[in-house]
């Protein structure tokens, strides 16, 4: 849907709260929505701002450089269509095609991956990755010889399975960390037994990131078709992980603050075949929620954000949730040596 771009939403209260809409260049709603959530992740924009990008040659192909420019333009009064357009074309050159429907979670992870691959300042790229990094320990216990293999890795967002019936974010997170049995074609190689055996897999948390991103897996493949689950998933505005998933903390868990506040929601409406993305975000410097539907931005209440829990036919449903760790009082911050 193409709309006339209103530079700043007319509903904005004062200059500090303003937020910019983004023109839909035919099916760019997915990228537009992600840009609004990246813009509300000001830690990211601040880190990109520090980047000089002196070593970048083919800048039209460099995703982090174009992201830095578009996020800068979204915060300023400068002319926007050019950096926004350049960003879309830059993604296109990196195979995230223009005029195509995309999956917001895939594009989100693709952009973070480009940041790691294409920034010449590896220290800054590492800091950006650390914003989202959920460090985990995976335990795999062989059900025949009981030996345990442990591996550490990290996720940039938490992929959460949802059930066909009512769900809550807290419930989905709990089941993410529950033990799962791997049998049949999912059997893994056991070094002790010297062959593939059934096993029990469990995931434990090693550390939590400043920005905790959750992906509600609403798209399910069955028999070659993608189906969308419109069922209800409730989510809170504030989340205390020391209550929700305390059992999932590893003995090596780095205690660094476990309370989070929601600041962005990627919303999908429609079906798996034909959909539209919008975002609810809390921009920098305000506690207010805004709904960004391409160029159209309006202030909304938390009650309106809650309408995307789902469970109402083909209505709007939350697809990705972004939480920011609450600042801790001085002296209570754990050192993560």
Q: Is the backbone of residue 57 left (phi > 0), alpha (psi -120 to 50) or beta?
A: alpha
Task: Single out the segment in contact with Zn ion by CB under 5 A; choices: 8-16, 81-89, 188-196, 213-221.
Answer: 188-196
Question: Do 227 and 272 contact (CB within 8 A), yes or no?
Answer: yes
Q: Does residue 279 bind Zn ion (CB under 5 A)?
A: no
Evaluate whether 119 touches 125 at the Cβ level (below 8 Å): yes
Q: Does 145 bind Zn ion (CB under 5 A)?
A: yes
Q: Which stretch binds Zn ion (CB under 5 A): 145-153, 219-227, 305-313, 320-328?
A: 145-153
- The residues near 308 (Cβ < 8 Å, ≥ 6 apart) are 265, 267, 280, 315, 316, 317, 318
Nearer residue to Zn ion within complex by CB, 49 or 144: 144
Distance CA(218)–CA(268), nearest Å, equals: 10
Q: Which residue is nearest to Zn ion (CB)?
A: 142
| Rounded least distance, CB 2 to Zn ion, Å | 59
CB 89 within 8 A of CB 37: no
Beta carbon of residue 149, minimum distance to Zn ion (angstroms, whole number): 9
Nearer to Zn ion, 46 or 144 (CB): 144
Q: Specify the residue, 192 or 301, whose C-beta has the smaller distance to Zn ion.
A: 192
Q: What are the tokens at 93? A: 């050159």
Pick between residue 1 and residue 145 the one whose CB is nearest to Zn ion: 145
Cα→Cα distances 251→48, 68, 136, 146, 255, Å: 34, 38, 12, 20, 11
Which CB, 79 or 195, lies closer to Zn ion?
195
Distance between start and end Cα atoms, the chain: 50
Q: Is 96 in the site for Zn ion (CB under 5 A)?
A: no
Q: Is 108 exposed, middle or buried (0-12, 13-18, 19+ CB in 10 A)?
A: buried
Near Zn ion by CB under 5 A: residue from 70, 190, 214, 297: 190
195-214 residues in contact with Zn ion (CB under 5 A) are: 197
Nearest CA to 336 out of 165, 158, 207, 222 is that of: 207
Alpha carbons 216 and 233: distance in angstroms, whole number: 8
Q: Which stretch binds Zn ion (CB under 5 A): 84-92, 144-152, 203-211, 226-234?
A: 144-152
Q: With CB under 5 A as the contact rule, which of the stretches 28-36, 126-134, 194-202, 203-211 interacts with Zn ion?
A: 194-202
CB of 189 to Zn ion, least distance (A): 9
* Binding status of residue 58 toward Zn ion by CB under 5 A: no
Phi, psi of 282 (to 5 degrees): -110, 105
Of 139 and 296, CB closest to Zn ion? 139
By beta-carbon proximity to Zn ion, the closer residue of 1 and 193 is 193
142 belongs to the binding site for Zn ion (CB under 5 A): yes
Helices 29-40 and 104-118 cross at an angle (nearest 10°) of: 60
Number of residues that bind Zn ion (CB under 5 A): 7
The least distance separating Zn ion from the CB of residue 250, rounded to whole angstroms, comes to 23
193 binds Zn ion (CB under 5 A): yes
Q: Examine residue 226 and tell whether it contacts Zn ion (CB under 5 A).
A: no
Applying CB under 5 A, the residues found at the interface with Zn ion are 142, 144-145, 190, 192-193, 197
């Amino acid at each position: 849907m193409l709309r006339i771009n209103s530079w700043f939403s007319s509903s904005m209260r004062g200059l500090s709260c303003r937020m910019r809409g983004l023109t839909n260049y035919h099916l760019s709603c997915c990228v537009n929505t992600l840009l609004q959530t990246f813009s509300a992740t000001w830690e990211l924009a601040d880190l990109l701002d520090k980047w000089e990008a002196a070593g970048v040659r083919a800048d039209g192909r460099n995703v982090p450089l174009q992201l830095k420019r578009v996020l800068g333009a979204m915060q300023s009064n400068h002319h926007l269509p050019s950096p926004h357009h350049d960003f879309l074309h830059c993604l296109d050159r990196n195979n995230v095609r223009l005029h195509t429907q995309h999956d917001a979670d895939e594009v989100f992870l693709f952009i973070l991956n480009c940041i790691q691959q294409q920034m010449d300042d590896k220290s800054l790229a590492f800091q950006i990755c650390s914003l989202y990094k959920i460090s985990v320990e995976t335990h795999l216990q062989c059900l025949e010889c009981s030996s345990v293999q442990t591996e550490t890795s990290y996720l940039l967002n938490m992929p959460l399975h949802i059930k066909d019936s009512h769900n809550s974010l807290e419930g989905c997170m709990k089941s993410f960390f529950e033990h799962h049995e791997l049998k049949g074609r999912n059997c893994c190689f056991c070094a002790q037994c010297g062959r593939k055996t059934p096993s029990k897999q469990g995931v434990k948390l090693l550390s939590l990131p400043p920005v905790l991103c959750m992906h509600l897996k609403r798209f399910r493949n069955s028999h070659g078709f993608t189906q969308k689950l419109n069922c209800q998933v409730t989510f809170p505005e504030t989340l205390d992980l020391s209550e929700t998933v305390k059992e999932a903390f590893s003995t090596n868990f780095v205690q660094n603050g476990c309370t989070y506040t929601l600041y962005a929601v990627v919303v999908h409406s429609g079906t798996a075949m034909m959909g539209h993305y919008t975002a609810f975000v809390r921009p920098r410097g305000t506690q207010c929620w805004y709904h960004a539907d391409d160029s159209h931005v309006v202030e909304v209440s938390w009650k309106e954000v809650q309408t995307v829990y789902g469970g109402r036919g083909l209505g709007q449903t939350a697809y990705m949730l972004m939480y920011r760790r609450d600042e801790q009082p001085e002296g209570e911050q754990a050192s993560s040596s």
